[in-house]
Chains A and B, each alone.
Chain A
């Protein structure tokens, strides 16, 4: 058993090269170990004190978010809240205030749970992760990262250092919401994110939609190019039908497959509606769940 506290990326990847697993907030790793999901790794490298991973940079071609940035920073960051609202919607829902203070975007992504909240908005926003190891660094689109529940295409020695999200198109908006049975300490029963681009008349130019907790990984909804030119209400309804059709949910103690299939369609429809409102310049409060009342009308 070894525990190293890294203060630079170089130290962290060196430790990982010799077999250490990274630990950021520990809200998946430690809590999972306590619940007997998987034993704590023998060798750990703490990455939460690496300042280079704590940045949020507004760049020429988008935003770069350090993997160590916490959900509480993400939910309240003015740039993210305005231009990447779907991500802020998701981070604002995670656990409780203390979970959001500790839990990081890198941990959420690399933990690769099909019920993770930031996954669907990051997918629809076209995000890429930057992975670094002693062998160098590479960028991987999120659509190629998750390979199954808890599994990624990253090698064990690769540290997720950055998340890159391209600048949104003009007249675009994004939104994420999930079905939840209570307002805190919850996990998505199902969820959906949408990114919608509108033309000057308010018709849909393009839409992308991703679904949470209805397949072994977060999935994108296929066949949305046909939405070009549709009006928003019609597009939202069609997305809802496609989402329900493409979901392959399981039945478990939280919900039946049938109920998940139905509600993911509702979430997808509402995500499209909210993303379109934001694309049109409306202010829809973050998180969307509280604004429109899923498990939370107020």
Chain B
């Protein structure tokens, strides 16, 4: 194990992102920048009401307006229900609207002004239905149902569903009743996290153009192959007639995962017989997509001995699914894992419900469920530590999992670095040193699985020695696609600049899951190394012929092939590429093989979607110093010390960037970012003035440290993922600092100034 303690103040190693110059000089093109001859503007008619039956929908006037080329409703597209786990959704509302951002109709017109006028001219009359606005109330047997026909929907076999409960999961280990009975103390806590948003700075955009029976769709997706699958499913097209291209993507954070408006725009373009472009406003970006971070209610109970040993944990949680089940079905099991936490607890019983409401649908946002669950669990953990009078850091050292320990779902961990993360984060924060009485340091630990999935890439080297990496991977800003050049270059003894990347185009590259699940480098990195390995073999064979040496003795380095031991016997790769161009071409392909899920022993899981076994688990500890203005409840983060075990770090500057950005997102979740609803289930703060992101001016110094341990099931060279893990523990650590300053925890997330002030006043509501 090596602990690299590279603070951001030390000069990071040089890494030139292939997409960097385009992005910083403005020469890069994003989807909304694209212009095609005759392109029309699209606008949607939204429900703007939480729950209602459509009693009249009349588009006659809109269709008759000059400049309007197409107006579509549910009657104009195939009658298909879709959804990755539960097929509960249609492209356009049919009979009933279930959240304010549901699309009732779509218009394509000469420009956005005419399109909006046509949208306004669509006549819709509603009969209001009961609005389901509260997660816990929705679970009661008296509650009206968001989907009365839920039983008739297609759904994944593993799902456990009942009424408004779209996905139930439980994790059971040992005998929680006996564990509680054996405890000296039982601590019970309730925490409630509000929903929040991914807020990519680029609002989404889609451009679609048909040529004959084939459609090309330029779109702001993090998951091009998923988007393609959605178009194929809903418009009933084979995959080879739908081409998804993603120009530069202006951020995603999970908000642009899934399949969104590609099919609507393709359908409009087909009817209009013209290319069509959709560009979202910021308000649409807030209310419409089925990807926002879910609100969760937590009830957690822990039994502990006087000496600080945890004997049992019981938890119940209910998550806001919103009106449709996007990819959130697996959240139940994932949130259950995060509420059990990376602790050695012999007896565990966690139950999690994913509950339909009339809110915007939830979906994967950077480490889905984990920041909220970590916030609740780790705030609770400090309450437990306080009950037995043990320092919170020491309490975690004693109870957190370590190498060889068994986790809450019965997984035995290999060599892991959580304990080292605790030491590094606390040490980096100066934990234990005296502080002014309005400052405190809070500490929290987190974990996250690596997602091992199929992924492919090609590499070719043309006659002039220039390389291309053709990959299905999607770059959402993290730099992981950009890092692929370094991997290929290393395999081939070339320079990263010798390669251009061809990416984000489903028609030219093999499958990849997309910029989701921190999986790009983990899986596509292995595919690229495999593809480069094939080309290396081809080069070595050519070099062996050329140098009259044995293939096994050829070494590729510094743009040359030479014979091991006699570096003077050499030929340049450019020369070899020229030879290859006249004969056997230099082409490699690679595909990563998913690792097997680690075995679980002694636990049982209901609603199992594969989230209880963590492949190559990542661990983290954040220690955050917070200053509190007790008169107003305004808190400010003064310093963040983040330590991560994400395996071997391949690109240090990119890794630092991931942690810094995720910490800032975590500070926002902790203090200022949360969606509030009116009594009709409409968002009250769907705008950047009222939905408060953190700004550069708010950023504290962030110390980033890595514990680098080689893990067999990880990605290339032992790298695990890193895009999501650093987003998990920040809010929890801030909560624990605030609780120290106030004397009790703030039980609602975000811990806004007013909520903090209310807690100081003794109102724990």
- Which residues of A line the B interface, CB within 8 A? 35, 96, 179-185, 187, 189, 253-256, 259, 262-263, 266, 293-298
Contact = CB atoms under 8 A, between A and B. Distances in A.
Nearest to B628: A297
B757 A259 contact: yes
B695 A182 contact: yes
A46 to B, nearest CB: 24
Contacts of B398: none
Contacts of B752: 181
A294 B636 CA distance: 9
Interface string B590-634: 000000000000000000000000000000000000010101101
B632 A297 contact: no
Contacts of A180: 634
Contacts of B758: 259
Q: Is the contact region of chain A dominated by helix, strand, or loop, or is it mixed?
A: loop
Given A184-B698, A253-B690, A293-B629, A179 B634 contact: yes
B753 interface: yes
B141 interface: no
- Which 10 pairs from chain A and chain B are nearest by CB? A183-B697, A184-B697, A184-B695, A297-B627, A259-B754, A266-B631, A253-B684, A295-B634, A297-B636, A183-B698
Given A181-B672, A184-B695, A293-B636, 19 more contacts: A35-B687, A179-B632, A179-B753, A181-B692, A182-B672, A182-B695, A182-B697, A183-B698, A184-B698, A185-B695, A253-B676, A253-B684, A259-B754, A259-B758, A262-B757, A263-B631, A295-B753, A296-B636, A298-B636
Interface in B656-687: 671-672, 676, 684-685, 687
Nearest to B694: A182
Contact of B634 (A35, A181, A253): A181
Interface string B682-708: 001101111011111110000000000
A182 B691 CA distance: 11
A256 B693 CA distance: 20
B632 A266 contact: yes
B698 A255 contact: no
27 contacts: A179-B634, A180-B634, A182-B672, A182-B694, A182-B698, A183-B695, A183-B698, A184-B696, A184-B697, A185-B688, A185-B689, A187-B689, A189-B753, A253-B676, A253-B684, A253-B690, A259-B758, A263-B632, A266-B632, A293-B627, A293-B636, A294-B632, A294-B634, A295-B634, A295-B636, A295-B753, A297-B638
Contacts of B638: 297-298
Which of A256, A266, A297 gathers the greatest number of chain B CB atoms within 10 Å? A297
Contact of A253 (B627, B685, B688): B685
A198 B606 CA distance: 73
B359 to A, nearest CB: 16
Contacts, number: 64
Contacts of B753: 179, 181, 189, 295
Nearest to B668: A182
Contacts of A254: 690
Contact of B692 (A179, A182, A262, A293): A182
Nearest to B753: A181
A180 to B, nearest CB: 8
A184 B672 CA distance: 13
A266 B633 CA distance: 11
A5 to B, nearest CB: 25
A179 B627 CA distance: 16
Contacts of A293: 627, 629, 636
A259 B760 CA distance: 12
Nearest to A262: B757
A256 B631 CA distance: 16
Nearest to B699: A183
Contacts of A181: 634, 671-672, 692, 752-753
Which of A179, A181, A255, A262 gathers the greatest number of chain B CB atoms within 10 Å? A181
Contacts of A294: 629, 632, 634
B699 to A, nearest CB: 9
A262 B694 CA distance: 25
Given A182-B672, A294-B632, A295-B636, A256 B694 contact: no
Nearest to A270: B631
Contacts of A35: 687
A298 B626 CA distance: 10
Contacts of B636: 293, 295-298
Nearest to A267: B632
Interface in B133-182: none
Which of B629, B692, B758 gathers the greatest number of chain A CB atoms within 10 Å? B629
B754 A255 contact: yes
Contacts of B697: 182-184
A179 B690 CA distance: 15
Nearest to B696: A184
A99 to B, nearest CB: 12
A179 B753 CA distance: 10
Nearest to A266: B631
A176 to B, nearest CB: 16
A239 to B, nearest CB: 14
A178 to B, nearest CB: 11
A222 to B, nearest CB: 23
A263 B631 CA distance: 8
A86 to B, nearest CB: 20
Which of B627, B684, B753 gathers the greatest number of chain A CB atoms within 10 Å? B753
B281 to A, nearest CB: 9
B554 to A, nearest CB: 57
A236 to B, nearest CB: 12
Nearest to A36: B283
A187 B536 CA distance: 59
Interface string B735-765: 0000000000000000011100110000000
Contacts of A263: 631-632, 757
B196 to A, nearest CB: 14
Nearest to A296: B636
Nearest to A35: B687
A293 B637 CA distance: 12
Contacts of B698: 182-184
A139 B180 CA distance: 77
B695 A297 contact: no
A94 to B, nearest CB: 13
A102 B119 CA distance: 35
A162 to B, nearest CB: 31
Which of A187, A263, A266 gathers the greatest number of chain B CB atoms within 10 Å? A263
Contacts of B754: 255-256, 259
Nearest to A190: B632
Nearest to B690: A253
Nearest to B700: A298
A254 B674 CA distance: 11
B505 to A, nearest CB: 34
B542 to A, nearest CB: 57
Contacts of A187: 689
A218 B638 CA distance: 33
Nearest to A255: B754
Contacts of B695: 96, 182-185
B536 to A, nearest CB: 50
A294 B688 CA distance: 21
Contacts of B696: 184
A264 to B, nearest CB: 10
Contacts of B684: 253
Contacts of A266: 631-632
A96 B693 CA distance: 14
Nearest to A183: B697
B119 to A, nearest CB: 14
A259 B632 CA distance: 9
Nearest to B636: A297
B46 to A, nearest CB: 15
B113 to A, nearest CB: 13
